[in-house]
Amino acid sequence: MAYHNLLVAYDGSEQSIRALKTGIEMARSWNAKLEVVHVFDIPMLIVGEAMIPPPVENSVAIAQEADNLAAEAQSILSASDVQAEVTVLQGDPGRRVIEMAEEKGIDLIILGSRGISGIKEMFLGSVSNYIVKHSNIPLHILK
């Protein structure tokens, strides 16, 4: 089955680099449009009912790292002959990936997975696990 609108979730990890390279190959073979998204979140400290934002310099560093990862993804794309758009979003990564996919009419989401399961997943969470449970869009997950 050929897909026409692909979305790769990119976070700079080895798994997401593999997902991006797979997305490039799929886009090339299907002549599909490729979107790449990096989502960053600025964590808030919650104490009782108070939400305490991190120091401004931490927020700036997190946003700068997101821009660096987007540039890294763009560099990988530049080495290919596939046209793609790289987007940086802020918020909960799993939710934002699904929202973008729905907004852009994506018909296949490609992402890497570290293979976290069991107790580790319960405490650490998993973006790919969230997307698997909440997305109605077909997925291609690389471990």
Contacts of 109 (CB under 8 A, 6+ apart): 6, 7, 8, 9, 97, 101, 131, 135, 137, 138, 139, 140
Q: What mean pLDDT do residues 117-121 have?
A: 51
Highest mean pLDDT of the ranges 17-21, 48-52, 112-116:
17-21
Phi, psi of 7 (to 5 degrees): -130, 125
Q: How do the domains of the chain map onto residue ranges?
A: 5-142
Measured in whole angstroms, the distance separating CA 118 from the mean position of its chain's CA atoms is 22
What is the reported pTM? 0.87
3-state secondary structure of 17: helix
Position 125 scores a pLDDT of 52
Q: What is the pLDDT of residues 53-87, one digit of tens each?
A: 778 888 899 999 999 999 999 999 999 989 899 99
Q: Say if domain 5-142 classifies as CATH 1.25.40.10.
A: no
Residue 141, token pair as written in the block:
């997950």
Phi, psi of 108 (to 5 degrees): -155, 125
Q: What is the pLDDT of residues 78-105, one digit of tens each?
A: 999 898 999 999 999 999 999 999 999 9
CA distance 14 to 30: 24
Query: 118 falls in which pLDDT band (50, 70, 90)?
Result: low
